[in-house]
């Protein structure tokens, strides 16, 4: 049995839905996926175990990827990852978005991966499918042993 820790944020329920699919797939394989949603009201804590973060993309401003494009709704997770030494336990990022936004698809996750110097593990669209959850699970499980 492998224990996989996941921190995520979800504003529209899409990320929550993907996390539930990921959790069901982990349980089906005899593993435990421990999840915590981080939002504006989450109290900061010091992480003590490795984890992956799952973040959707919500942006405002501009039409590309430059500095005029700013994150909205996901800042609480970014601040939490930056708190204390939490980023030292971060193993990688999974991101989501809407492919209709072209170069901005998954931009938040790409920025987090760059900022925290961790791999961008996987990207999926909107709520993700069970097949995408399986693929993400297979990519993150080795990060936690076995």
pLDDT tens, 61-76? Answer: 767 777 777 776 788 9
Find tokens 């669209």 and name the residue.
125
Is 130's pLDDT higher than 90?
Answer: yes
**With contact defined as beta carbons under 8 Å apart, do 19 and 54 qualify?**
yes
What SS3 string covers 106-120? CHHHHHHHHHHCCCE
The per-residue pLDDT for 144 is 96
The per-residue pLDDT for 39 is 94
- Cβ within 8 Å of residue 96, ≥6 positions away: 14, 15, 18, 54, 55, 56, 57, 106, 109, 123, 124, 125, 126, 128
pTM above 0.75, yes or no: yes
CA dihedral sign, ordered 126, 132, 134, 135: negative
Structure tokens at 20: 């539930």
């Amino acid at each position: 049995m492998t224990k996989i820790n996941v921190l995520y944020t979800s504003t529209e329920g899409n990320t929550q839905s993907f996390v539930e699919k990921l959790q069901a797939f982990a349980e089906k394989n005899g593993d435990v996926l421990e999840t915590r949603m981080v939002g504006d009201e989450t109290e900061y804590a010091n992480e003590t175990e490795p984890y992956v973060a799952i973040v959707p993309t919500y942006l405002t401003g501009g039409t590309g990827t430059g500095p005029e494009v700013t994150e909205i709704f996901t800042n609480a997770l970014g601040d939490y990852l930056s708190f204390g030494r939490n980023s030292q336990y971060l193993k990688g990022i999974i991101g989501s978005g809407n492919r209709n936004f072209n170069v901005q698809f998954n931009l938040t996750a790409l920025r987090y991966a760059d900022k925290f110097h961790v791999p961008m593990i996987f990207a999926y669209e909107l709520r993700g499918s069970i097949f995408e959850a399986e693929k993400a699970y297979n990519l993150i499980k080795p990060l936690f042993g076995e």
